[in-house]
Amino acid sequence: MTCAYRHFEHIVRINTLEKLQILADAAKYDASCASSGAQTKDSRGGKGVGSTGGVGICHSYAPDGRCISLLKVLLTNVCLYDCHYCINRRSSNVQRARFTPDEVVKLTLDFYKRNYIEGLFLSSGIVRSADYTMELVVEVARKLREDHHFRGYIHLKTIPEASDTLIAEAGRHADRISINIELPREKDLKRLAPEKSLPRTRAAMGQIKERIDEGKAERKVRFATGQSTQMIVGADPSRDSDFLHRARDLYGNFRLRRVYYSAFSPIPDASARLPLQAPPLVREHRLYQADWLMRFYKFRVDEITPNENPDLDLDIDPKLSWALRNRAFFPVDVNRAALAELYRVPGLGVRNAKRIVGIRRQTQLRVSDLIRLRVNLKKALPFLITADHHPARMEIDSERIRAIHAPKPQQLELELMPATVPETAEPPAPKTLSLPIPKAEVIGGEF
């Protein structure tokens, strides 16, 4: 019997609320909990409990903007593995707890009936073995679906080392299943998560993709409608280009619905292999924007992060960044350019680019039309031509464009010092400036 399992067996009995506090807190680091694209189900007709709207499950947001679903919980935070970036790792000195499958089922139903949640996001540390843990996770979903006819959203985190049969069983009950790839490069995974393996995770994702495809082809075979994953940003030396290449690989080969980027948060009693500081949160935001550019604006990874710029600019969005590196491409004539060229104009989103192609069949577009379409003119005007606007070459080549859109430098506040400072007093800690996430830039918006 392993040490971790002995620990697991000897966890002192604590009440459900205390367990929930421990296990919900332990789950908060996983960002891959969104439910977009889940199949709509309902309990009309008097059968079953709960329903899932197209908009998905209920979310709450942590103070740093991270999305957290209301019943996002671990079955247990006991774990045999020793992933250095994880607070639940074997060597971590945290209080451990575990739920039985019945306890999670009861909590889910109780919260659901009180309208606190619309679904369950369930993950777990690995106890005894990957298969044993997966059996417990699947048991929760099976009981909810088969014994209680629960129609709400279920997202199960699966374990790549678990048997194919169990992963298939998980997919049969869940709306979404996911396996966290954690880090984009195998060499960093070996250093920070020695029990995990990128090829094994990719193989499991491949099996899940096949089952999802089979489920879609043979409509009677129910299987989760999608898979997603998460990568931790800033725990290892990977460059932004590494994250984007890995995301491209996962979208292309396994048709993942989403790749989530989660800025590494320093954890208590952290391993010496980890950086002392979290990366700026804006890096996570820029990765999401770059991810959006790849998926919807048809940018290639080597265009967003070319060899000479493997990291995204933090001060401006990646589309503007590309435009400033490729000024010769502009100006783009909105009345003539191909749709793919319109996608490249900063401030012009996919939806507006399509609208423009439709409108120009009837009339020549002018700036006033772009205003009506709510195009971000401050960003777009230096890069496009309309019937009544033609930017001068000087304007496109101006260095001021970047300065206009980059956050203004912040002045450090001067603090009033006391008239006399005791000799033993510590000097005040230096203040650091970090780039805020620009409020106007919305992930997936028109940028």
Q: Which stretches of the chain bind ligand SF4, using CB under 6 A?
A: 79, 81, 83, 86, 88-89, 125-126, 193
Least Cβ distance, residue 267 to ligand SF4 (angstroms): 10
Q: Each residue of 35-70: b (16+ CB within 10 Å) or e?
A: beebeebeeeeeebebbbeeebbbbeeeeeebebbb
Least Cβ distance, residue 96 to ligand SF4 (angstroms): 11
- Residue 291, classed as helix, strand or coil, is helix
Least Cβ distance, residue 285 to ligand SF4 (angstroms): 23
Residue of 294, 285, 385 whose CA lies nearest to 342? 385
Q: Name the residue nearer to ligand SF4 (CB basis): 193 or 348.
A: 193
Query: What is the DSSP code (8-state) at residue 408?
Result: P
The C-alpha atoms of residue 377 and residue 394 are separated, in whole angstroms, by 18
Q: Name the residue nearer to ligand SF4 (CB basis): 270 or 387.
A: 270
Least Cβ distance, residue 182 to ligand SF4 (angstroms): 7
DSSP conformation letters of 302-354: HHHS-TT--S--SSS-HHHHHHHH-GGG--EETTT--HHHHTTSTT--HHHHH
Q: Name the residue nearer to ligand SF4 (CB basis): 208 or 323.
A: 208
Those residues whose C-beta lies under 8 Å from the C-beta of residue 312, and which sit 6 or more positions away, are: 240, 283, 286, 287, 290, 304, 305, 318, 321
The two three-digit tokens of residue 442, written as one number: 């919305």
Q: Name the residue nearer to ligand SF4 (CB basis): 86 or 204.
A: 86
284 HSE (CA, 13 A, CB side): 23
CA distances, 391 to each of 256, 323, 330 (Å): 41, 15, 10
Q: Name the residue nearer to ligand SF4 (CB basis): 4 or 208.
A: 4
Least Cβ distance, residue 136 to ligand SF4 (angstroms): 14
Query: What is the DSSP code (8-state) at residue 79?
Result: -
Least Cβ distance, residue 178 to ligand SF4 (angstroms): 12
Q: Name the residue nearer to ligand SF4 (CB basis): 228 or 321.
A: 228
The two three-digit tokens of residue 444, written as one number: 């997936």
The C-alpha atoms of residue 265 and residue 276 are separated, in whole angstroms, by 9
Q: Name the residue nearer to ligand SF4 (CB basis): 96 or 211.
A: 96
Least Cβ distance, residue 1 to ligand SF4 (angstroms): 18
Least Cβ distance, residue 76 to ligand SF4 (angstroms): 9
The C-alpha atoms of residue 173 and residue 165 are separated, in whole angstroms, by 13
Q: Name the residue nearer to ligand SF4 (CB basis): 183 or 208.
A: 183
Least Cβ distance, residue 301 to ligand SF4 (angstroms): 26
Q: Name the residue nearer to ligand SF4 (CB basis): 139 or 161.
A: 161
- Residue 274, classed as helix, strand or coil, is coil
Phi-psi region of 256 (alpha: psi -120 to 50; beta: other; left: phi over 0): beta
